[in-house]
Each structure stands twice: as C-alpha cells, then as structure tokens.
Structure 1
Amino acid sequence: MDEVRWLSPEELHTWVKLEVIAELLPAALDQPLQREHNLTHFEYIVLAQLSEATDRTMPLTVLAARTSATLPRLSHVIRRLEDRGLVVRSTSEFDRRVTLATLTDAGWERVVESAPTHVASVRDIVIDRLTADQLRSLGAITDAMLAALDPDDRKGLRRVCDEKAPHPPSP
C-alpha cells in the first residue's frame, strides 16, 4: 500500500477554508433569490440553463448533467417548477423515452427578473471581493480543479467559456 501523503499545516488550512466556502456558498446564493423571487439557487440554475437552450427546451438527462443533479432530484425540482407554471414537461417527438423540460413564458420572465439578484450576489460574495490578479488566479485554480472534477465537461463549461461571457438572457 502506498504511503499516505498527509497535508502540511498550510495545505490543511487552505483545504479547510475551501470546505467551509463550499458549505456556505449555496445558502448565501439561495437567500436573496428566495427572499426576492421565491426561487432556490438550484431552481434559478435550472431555469437559467433552460433559458439558454434552443427553443428553451432540454432533455432532462442533459439538464441533470449540466446542473450536477441526479435525475430524481431534478425531476422533483421540475415538478415544483411545473406547479408554479415556470416549466412544462413533455415527451420528445423523436424518442418517446426522452423527457423534455421547456421554459414557459412565465419561467422566462422569472429568469429575466431574478438574474440581476443572482449577479448582485455573485458580485458581492466573490467577484468584487477580489483584485483583478486574484480573479485571474481563481480562474486558473478553478480550471485546474475542474480538470479533475469534470474531465468530460458534463457541465458544459468549456462550451460556455469558449463563447462570450454569460449575461442575462435577452428577450
């Protein structure tokens, strides 16, 4: 058996801070969206992904990969969004085994109205707290980590990053 490469005190300190950030960030992004738009951060991400898809429609399997969700979790969230009239579910006309999620006009309006809240949270919590050099470093750090965590680009980040920077959807 290989010998364990224990973390140095500096490595451990950095790792623990990253763990805490990973734990605190979702709730920090949830709070303003829930308060102002009755959406969780995950619901917002689902709606945003659909808003960027062709015809605002995506197979649930693709949407699950893009949002790092299991199909059962995504199905539950889609049902909640359907109940609020933000999404409709249908069967693909090309393959009856494929379930599609489509953003409704009300869903589109919710994404457009909640995008500024989401961006303000991202700026307040992350972007505006960093210098330009720190932001570039964070980009390089996240690239290195994503190479290990998402080598097949299931999240579609290489596609998004190769295009121009994300921005609120236009009508």
Structure 2
Amino acid sequence: MPSPCDPANAPVGDVGAALMVIDSRLKSVYQGRTEAGPEHRQLLDQFAATLGPDGFDALLDGACTLIYMYMSWLRAACESHDEDAVEFVVPTLINTMRMMPRTFRPEVIPTMAGLLIAAGTGLSPNLWRAQYGDWTEAEMNPLEATVVLLAEQINRMAGGDQEFATRLIAEALAGADED
C-alpha cells in the first residue's frame, strides 16, 4: 500500500533558491563565521522579501527536497559499505543539534530528527511534517541548520571537498533540466 508520504506526491519546491541559501550559509561556516554578518543578513532579508507567501512555501519545500536528496545520497553511500544511513547520520546530527542550543531548542530536535528519518527511509520529509500541521516560526532556523549540517556531513565524507554537496544538487538540477 502506497504511503501518503511517498516522495512522488510531494511538491519539490524551489530547490535552486534553497540551495543558494544553504550554500551561502556553508560558505560562512567554512570562513569561520558562525553568525550571519550584516551583509549576509541583509541579502537574505532582501531575498525573503521578494518571495512572498507562495515563494516562502516553495523555499520550505525546496529545503525539504534538499534533505531528501542528501539523505538519498547518504543512503546509497552507506549501503555500499553495508551500513544504515539513519543509524550512521541521525545520531551524529542529533548530538550536534544538542550542542547548538541557540539554534536547536530542545523541542525542535525531535522534528528535525523526524525529517531526517523520514528521508532516510524513503519518505518525503515535507509530507511527513505536514501531518503535524503548519511549520512554526521556531522551526525555521533549525530547518536551515539541519540542511547545512547534512551538506557539511556529505562534504566531509567526500574528503573535505567544501563544494561537493552543492555540486551534487546542482548537477542533479542540471540533469533534470536536460530531461
């Protein structure tokens, strides 16, 4: 019986915009900045202002699509070594989340873990989350940070290539455009 959280039923959202936000955040992290600088914050605020309500929903769906794509890549990488992606990735990311209490308040960690587990088991993270109502304001920064943590994990697995996770998605998007 098909799941109501099947990725085939999920909106893809604006993956390009979500990737731009995540790539920008990753570059800040790699440059040693944990807080967004005033220029970065202003750029993101201007970008968010251009989205409107439908654009913001598309950005959220795009972030969830990134989680799904990253977890799919991690699942394939782990399976090639007879490991389980959920077992390999989720505990590490949850421990990291716990060390970041300003970004991940304790009450949002189960939701972020649920998104990772849903994607790691082949379900759509945004459809899984939709079962529990609308997104909350308290989940916005943790959602972004969860995608950044996943991308950073992939970059480390790729030998420290700081652009690997971004290229992975950009190449998938380019391939989808060709089809």
The bucket for the TM-score relative to the shorter chain is: 0.3 to 0.5
Larger relative helix fraction: 2
TM-score (normalizing by structure 2): 0.37
Larger relative strand fraction: 1
TM-score (normalizing by structure 1): 0.38
The higher radius of gyration belongs to 1
